[in-house]
Amino acid sequence: MASAIGLDLVDVREVAESVERFGHLYLDRCYTPAEIAYAMSAPDRVTGVRRLAARFAAKEATIKALGASERGISPRDIEVARADDGSIRLELRGPAFAAARAAGATAFAVSMSHQGDLAAAVVVAHKTKSAFRRIGWKR
């Protein structure tokens, strides 16, 4: 099995500005209801915005790992879901799921972090070797 990596870095201040300026129009366009609820459950507003920024970074990193920047994937097509034990996983639907299938992605690993004004995420898409040959990647 081969892998592809996506990385993204988000300025937390830009997410805070979008939330302040557009409110639920921004939130509903970029995040799923579960993601919004988790962010809003934070002990303070700053932590909530950092959680949103990290999730947005994970969504962008997923698109990069899939090599699907031109496929018209909505951020809501990718959800950062939390398990009861606190671990995270990606749930893809619609065009994001189709892009993963087309790329031969069989599983994902995701890591997110936020500190100060920055949020980051790394996504590893595990792909079948035939998918790499099909899209012209070399191992």
Distance CA 109, CA 94 (A): 20
Q: How many CB atoms lie within 10 A of CB 40?
A: 12
Contact in structure between 119 and 113 (CB atoms under 8 Å): yes
34 falls within a domain: yes
The pTM is what?
A: 0.89
48 falls within a domain: yes
Query: What CATH number is associated with residue 67?
Result: 3.90.470.20
Q: Tell me how many domains the chain contains.
A: 1
Distance CA 121, CA 75 (A): 14
Point out which residues pair with 103 in neighbouring strands: none
108 falls within a domain: yes
Give me the sign of the Cα torsion angle 101, 104, 108, 114. negative
Distance CA 82, CA 101 (A): 23
139 falls within a domain: no
37 falls within a domain: yes
102 falls within a domain: yes
* Tens digits of pLDDT across the chain (139 residues): 588 999 999 999 999 999 999 999 999 999 999 999 999 999 999 999 999 999 999 999 999 999 988 778 999 999 999 988 989 999 999 999 999 999 999 999 999 999 999 999 999 999 876 554 444 444 4
Q: Determine the structural domain holding residue 32 and report its residue range.
A: 2-134
